[in-house]
Amino acid sequence: MKVLLAGGGSSHEREVSLKSSAAMERALQDLGYSYKYADIKNELDVLKEWDSSYDIVLLGFHGRAGEDGLLQATLEANNIPYTGAGVGDSLLAFSKDASKRQFVRHGIPTADWELLLHTPGTDLPKTRLDMSYVIKPDNEGSTIGLSICEQDHDLINAKQTSGAFSRLIFESFVPGRELTVGVVGGEVYPIVEIFAGNALYDYESKYTKGKSRYQCPAELDDSLTQLIQDYAIKAMESVGVQVYGRVDFRLDPHGKPWCLEINTLPGMTETSLLPMGAAARGLEFPQLIDAILKHSLKKYS
């Protein structure tokens, strides 16, 4: 197999993408595959790097331009095979509003929310939700632009953090435990519990070394584990996500799980959450990358 590994990109998550791509490159070396790594500034420039000698593009991007379906549509228009979710499923999953609508339609519990349009630099729009609530951009990843509002004065900081974006999700805050579930090729991995360094698993908690800690498998009874894993599969199916993804949950103090969102190009460093679940399943990182490549190629056979 000859692989074009494409990473970097133009989103707010470029630095994370570079780390994921570096880990993927080491995995390709371990697997013995022929490959080329391209650090790309504009995601659509993948087309310039591609030629017919390659079998597939391994997508190392994170964030809007690599994860929202535009790149996937461009690759499909040019008959270029690529890893992960397709056009429509990427688009639906990347919009928190659209994906939560699908969760509701398919009976997957998700916190109450409201999508509000906003002009950056102005006061935040008024929501029908009672505090406490979370504000986050509808179409960004890595919890970029996320704010927690428990009291009115929290709106001051939220205006700076979340107010830089025009499509905002106001979502009822679910107290409790932070969980995430990886799914690859229809197989669900052990649940990871995140003990975040901040009130939510925000950008600082994710990418500051030692800020958060993790446990996998999470300490949950068998029936609750099965329920959450079932919801993860159902959530992926509700938006049609193919090949692989990671589904995030909150578990409230009453033991009820609430589905937050699906990540179609989750972090893929050797210490990221999806690889953590794979490791608990017995898959080393190169084996995980190999599985993603092979399951992705099945879409084109």
Residues taking part in catalysis = 13, 142, 207, 246, 248, 261, 263, 267
Nearest one of 98, 91, 64 to 76, comparing CA atoms: 91
3-state secondary structure the chain: CEEEEEEECCCCCHHHHHHHHHHHHHHHHHHCCEEEEEEECCHHHHHHHCCCCCCEEEECCCCHHHHCCHHHHHHHHCCCCECCCCHHHHHHHHCHHHHHHHHHHCCCCCCCEEEEECCCCCCCCCCCCCCCEEEEECCCCCCCCCEEECCCCHHHHHHHHCCCCCEEEEEECCCCEEEEEEEECCEECCCEEEECCCCCCCHHHHHCCCCCEEECCCCCCHHHHHHHHHHHHHHHHHHCCCCEEEEEEEECCCCCEEEEEEECCCCCCCCCHHHHHHHHHCCCHHHHHHHHHHHHHHHHC
Q: How many CA atoms lie within 13 A of 85 on its CB side?
A: 29
**35 φ, ψ to 5°?**
-155, 165
- The Cα 173–Cα 149 span in angstroms is 9
